[in-house]
Chain A
Amino acid sequence: DGGITQSPKYLFRKEGQNVTLSCEQNLNHDAMYWYRQDPGQGLRLIYYSQIVNDFQKGDIAEGYSVSREKKESFPLTVTSAQKNPTAFYLCASTSDRGGEQYFGPGTRLTVT
C-alpha cells in the first residue's frame, strides 16, 4: 500500500519538552512538506524539502526544526521555543512541484 504514514496519531507532552513527529512516505516522492492546521486557520506551511539533505523554512518555521536524511522520511521536531505548539500537524509529499500533494493522516499534538 503506497502512502504517507504519520505517527503517533495523538501525542501529549509537557511544556518545555522537545517532541519529534514522524512522517514516512513510500511514494518515491522527492518533495515533502509539513503543515500546521488550527481551527479556522487553514493549513500553514512550516518547512518543506524538495530533495534529500535540503530543506527550507515555510511561513511559520519559528520554534520548529526538520531533517531530511532519507528520501522517505521527513521528521519534524517541535521545540520548547514554539510558543503555541498545540495543533494538528500534517505531512504531505509530491512528485510534481506545483502539482497535487498527498497528505498523511496527521498527528494531534497537545502540550500542557
Chain B
Amino acid sequence: AQSVSQHNHHVILSEAASLELGCNYSYGGTVNLFWYVQYPGQHLQLLLKYFSGDPLVKGIKGFEAEFIKSKFSFNLRKPSVQWSDTAEYFCAVNARGSQGNLIFGKGTKLSVKP
C-alpha cells in the first residue's frame, strides 16, 4: 500500500531562518506530488505540485520543492520564513493510473517566532 512519511511533527523556527520539511513516499510507479498548507482557521490550500518535467517546482509565497525520484522524496523548502508561514503543512501523493485518490502524510506543524 502507498504511504507518505513526513519526518517532523513540529518545527519551530525564528523569522528569516531557512526551512526544509521532509516528505518521502512509498510507491514504485509514477506519481503526482503535492504540498498543501493549512493556515490557522483557513481552508487547506495547494502550495505547489509536481506532475512531470523540471523536478524543482516553485509554488506560492516563495516555497519550492524538489522531487528526487531515486530517494522517493519531495522536500519542501523556503530560504527565509516569515511569521505568517506559521501553519500546518501536508505532503500528498497520487499514484498515476489509480483511482485518483490522494494519500496524505500526517502533517508538519510549523511555528515561526517573530
User: Which A43-93 residues sit within 8 Å CB-CB of chain B?
Assistant: 43-45, 48, 50, 56, 58, 90, 92
Asked if A23 lies at the interface with its beta carbon under 8 angstroms from chain B, I say no
Query: Is A100 in contact with B46, judged by CB distance below 8 angstroms?
Result: yes
CB-nearest residue of chain A relative to B107?
A42
User: Assuming the A-B contacts A40-B9, A42-B107, A43-B90, are A98 and B96 also in contact, with contact meaning beta carbons closer than 8 angstroms in the complex?
Assistant: yes
Give the A-B contact count at a CB cut-off of 8 A. Answer: 55
Query: Is B106 in contact with A42, judged by CB distance below 8 angstroms?
Result: yes
Query: Is A105 in contact with B96, judged by CB distance below 8 angstroms?
Result: no
Task: State how many residues of chain B have any CB contact under 8 Å with chain A.
Answer: 26
Partner of B98, one of A43, A44, A96, A98: A98
User: Which B2-50 residues sit within 8 Å CB-CB of chain A?
Assistant: 4, 6, 9, 32, 34, 36, 42-46, 49
B34, B44, B45: residue with the most chain A Cβ atoms closer than 10 Å: B44
Query: Is A58 in contact with B101, judged by CB distance below 8 angstroms?
Result: yes
Chain A residues with CB below 8 A from B90, complex form: 42-43
CB-nearest residue of chain B relative to A105?
B43
Q: Which residues of A contact B (CB under 8 A)?
A: 31, 33, 35, 40-45, 48, 50, 56, 58, 90, 92, 94, 96-101, 103-106
